């Protein structure tokens, strides 16, 4: 079945394929096997499914400056909240998982909440 998608995988391409496969309703291994059947390497497939299953955006809707991310975290009272809550908050504000985890780590580091 031709989907018009290229064989070189970007995460948005993997997401499209997995959505067509109804991947959110299927198990990790089943999704990996599906991507392998589609011609992707086992390593590509495992990484793609891992990111897919984390959910949320894989491409930023917009780019926030580090200053703006820090302001959002200050407004959220992030110094008194666990890192996961802070990451989830930034993701709801439009950051990707990677942007959010990096921002929370740097924020906590700057404020001496974790070691350098």
Residue-wise pLDDT for 45-55, tens only, equals 998 898 888 76
What is the rounded distance in angstroms from the CA atom of residue 79 to the CA atom of residue 81? 6
Record the pTM: 0.52
What is the rounded distance in angstroms from the CA atom of residue 108 to the CA atom of residue 79? 7
CB 94 within 8 A of CB 57: yes
CB 30 within 8 A of CB 36: no
DSSP states of 77-113: TGGGS-HHHHHHHHHHTT--HHHHHHHHHHHHHHTTS
Residue-wise pLDDT for 54-97, tens only, equals 765 555 555 678 899 999 999 999 999 999 999 999 988 878 78
């Amino acid at each position: 079945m031709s989907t018009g998608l290229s064989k070189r995988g970007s995460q948005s391409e993997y997401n499209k394929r997995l959505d067509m496969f109804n991947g959110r309703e299927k198990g990790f291994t089943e999704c990996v096997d599906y991507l392998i059947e589609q011609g992707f390497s086992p390593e590509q497939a495992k990484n793609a499914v891992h990111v897919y299953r984390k959910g949320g955006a894989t491409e930023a809707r917009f780019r926030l400056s580090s200053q703006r991310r820090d302001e959002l975290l200050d407004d959220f009272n992030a110094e008194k909240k666990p890192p996961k809550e802070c990451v989830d908050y930034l993701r709801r504000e439009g950051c990707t998982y990677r942007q959010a985890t990096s921002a929370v780590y740097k924020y906590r580091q700057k404020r001496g909440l974790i070691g350098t």
